[in-house]
Amino acid sequence: MTTHAVSTKSAKRVVAVDRFLTFIRIFLVTMIVIGLLAFIWQQIDADNVFARWRNPGARGLTGDQFKGLLISGLSQGSMYGLIALGYSMVYGVLGFINFAHGEVFMVGAMTGFIASDKFAANGLWESNFLLCLALIMLMAIFFSTFTAILMERVAYRALRNSPRLIPLITSIGVSFFIQNLVLGLFGPATKSYPRLPEWLADQRSILTFEIAGTRILVLVVAAVSMAGLWYIVERTKTGKAMRAVAEDKEIASLMGIDVNRTIVTTFAVGGAMAGVGGILWGLMFRSVTHMTGFLPGVKAFTAAVVGGIGNLGGAMAGGISLGSAESLAPLLILEPLGVPGVSQLKDAVAFTVLVLVLLFKPTGLFGERLSSEDRA
């Protein structure tokens, strides 16, 4: 009798939480729908009652503004995607969030700054920009990869079989450590990349889109890196080993795969991608500090979750959708709802996207690819 009573009681309470969650879901969706509808109405007829309901001053966006936002979202998103690949690969293989991956990205951006600053000082940056770009890219890849590998060797290798939260906490420590080491070595000042040559930074018009050359560069480099990564993972023996280790470490080692080496390779490839991302970040925003890695890192993780963690195509797609959402949603949804100063809420939007995805589709848009034990 008593056990029966207890179980019905607890079942009721569980329902209460679920009801609350359903309420949150409905509430968020309603807000988004109202915002979007109001936005669309604004576009059609700015004096409409519904369009002016929450935000009387709203005028909507012009086509060019919209395209501009979309492009900036896409290029930022592709950077998130590049970083997200590292999270996704490590999560796929080791089953933990490498919180310090954002710092690997920051090391790349910092290396790029130091090298480009030196090149600019002796004039090479202006006279032979492409060579410099290639060189700083290589250096950033080298140092990011080095950081990632060192991190794995010193901090994570010993923790491979410990409970899931322990490596995560360790990686928080590693992240904190690298941030403050870079702060100590290079000082707290914001570092600015040298000016880009005009032919690169110029706006140009492609298919009626006004794009700055830098953004084109970002998109192209991101696409090329992604293609390279896809080739490595899907077509080479190393990639096959990675996928096997991600599926089951023990059996992979029985099949003659060197698990240690494969894990190091995974970290290295993820680090290289983050290095490329760091350089692109530096070229686009032209400034870097020791804290540069934190927010992009967390957002890139969000991107990995949005796309489905462990899924490489998903990571890239997740990055691009997160970037676009972050740049469009404040103006498309929040502004019509009458929220002032929406551009301040960009970061909040990114985290809300994370919560939304986990509330509606915890496995991400394109599905997770994890070994069965990690999925638990």
Partner 1 sequence: MSTMTATMPSSALDQDWRRVLRWGLICGGVLIALCLVGMPVELDRRELIERYLSLGYVSVLMIPILIGRIAATQVVLEGVESRKQGLYDLVTGLAVGILGGVSLSVLIVALDSWNLRDPLVNWSPKLFRFLTYENGIGFGLMAWIVTCGLLGMMGAASHVVPAMVRRVSGIVVLSLLGISVLEGAIEDLSEGFRLEWLTDLLYAKKGGLTLTSAILAGAAIAVVAVLTSGRVKALTTSYREKEGADRQKASIILFVVVAVLVIVLPIFLGKIMNELLANVGLFLLLALGLNIVVGLAGLLDLGYVAFFAVGGYTTAVLTSPNSPFFAPEMHFGFALIFVVIFAIVVGLVIGAPVIRMRGDYLAIVTLGFGEIIRLLFLSDWLGPYFGGAQGITNIPGVDLGFATVKGTDPRSVFYLVLFFCAIAIYVSWRLQASRLGRSWMAIREDEQVAETMGINTVNSKLMAFVVGAVMAAFSGAVLAAKVGSIFPTSFMILISIIILVVVIVGGMGNIAGVMVGSFVLIGVLGGPKQPGLLQEFQNFKLLIYGMLLVFMMLKRPEGLVPSARRSRELHQDEFLQDAWLKGDKPGTDDDDGETVGDDGGEEE
32: Cβ contacts below 8 Å, ≥ 6 apart: 333
- Interface pick for partner 1 out of 40, 124, 168, 232 (rule CB under 8 A): 168
Q: How far is the CB of 8 from partner 1 (least distance, A)?
A: 12
Kindly state the tokens that stand for 152. 């794995």
Q: How far is the CB of 334 from partner 1 (least distance, A)?
A: 8
Of the two residues 44 and 172, which places its CB atom closer to partner 1 in the complex?
Answer: 172
What is the chain's Cα-based Rg? 23
- Interface pick for partner 1 out of 97, 244, 269, 322 (rule CB under 8 A): 97
**361 phi, psi to nearest 5 deg:** -145, 80
How far is CA 348 from its chain centroid?
14
34: Cβ contacts below 8 Å, ≥ 6 apart: 54, 336, 337
Coil, strand or helix at 204: strand
Of the two residues 14 and 130, which places its CB atom closer to partner 1 in the complex?
Answer: 14
- Interface pick for partner 1 out of 34, 40, 159, 365 (rule CB under 8 A): 159
Stretch that binds partner 1, among 40-48, 138-146, 249-257, 341-349 (CB under 8 A): 341-349
Stretch that binds partner 1, among 138-146, 233-241, 277-285, 355-363 (CB under 8 A): 355-363
Q: How far is the CB of 14 from partner 1 (least distance, A)?
A: 5
CA–CA separation, 85 vs 64, rounded Å? 31
Q: Answer yes or no: are the C-beta atoms of 312 and 269 closer than 8 Å.
A: no
Q: Applying CB under 8 A, what is the total number of residues that bind partner 1?
A: 64
In sequence order, which ranges of 152-212 are alpha helices (DSSP H)? 165-186, 198-201
Q: Is 114 in the site for partner 1 (CB under 8 A)?
A: yes
Q: Is 14 in the site for partner 1 (CB under 8 A)?
A: yes
Stretch that binds partner 1, among 140-148, 155-163, 223-231, 313-321 (CB under 8 A): 155-163
In what helix (H) or strand (E) does residue 287 lie, and over which residues does it extend? Answer: strand 287-288
Q: Nearest 5 degrees, angle CA 370-CA 373-CA 376?
A: 90
Q: Answer yes or no: are the C-beta atoms of 371 and 247 closer than 8 Å.
A: yes
Stretch that binds partner 1, among 70-78, 141-149, 169-177, 262-270 (CB under 8 A): 169-177
CA–CA separation, 29 vs 110, rounded Å? 40
Q: Is 149 in the site for partner 1 (CB under 8 A)?
A: no
- Here's the x/- map for partner 1, 190-229, by CB under 8 A: it reads as ----------------------------------------
163: Cβ contacts below 8 Å, ≥ 6 apart: none
Q: Is 172 in the site for partner 1 (CB under 8 A)?
A: yes
Of the two residues 11 and 207, which places its CB atom closer to partner 1 in the complex?
Answer: 11
Q: Is 170 in the site for partner 1 (CB under 8 A)?
A: yes
Kindly state the tokens that stand for 332. 């498309």
Q: Is 362 in the site for partner 1 (CB under 8 A)?
A: yes
At position 299, the amino acid (one-letter code) is K
195: Cβ contacts below 8 Å, ≥ 6 apart: 201
- Here's the x/- map for partner 1, 54-93, by CB under 8 A: it reads as ----------------------------------------
Residue found by looking up tokens 């970037």 in the block: 323
- Interface pick for partner 1 out of 31, 166, 220, 255 (rule CB under 8 A): 166
* Footprint on residues 298-327 left by partner 1 (CB under 8 A): 298, 301-302, 305
**Helix 165-186 with 294-307: angle, nearest 10 deg:** 150
DSSP 292-314: TTHHHHHHHHHHHHHH-TT-HHH
Q: Is 181 in the site for partner 1 (CB under 8 A)?
A: yes
In the complex, the residues that contact partner 1 under the rule CB under 8 A are: 3, 6-7, 10, 13-14, 17, 20-21, 24, 96-97, 114, 117-118, 154-155, 158-159, 162-170, 172-181, 183-187, 294, 298, 301-302, 305, 339-341, 344-345, 347-348, 350-352, 354-355, 358-359, 362, 376
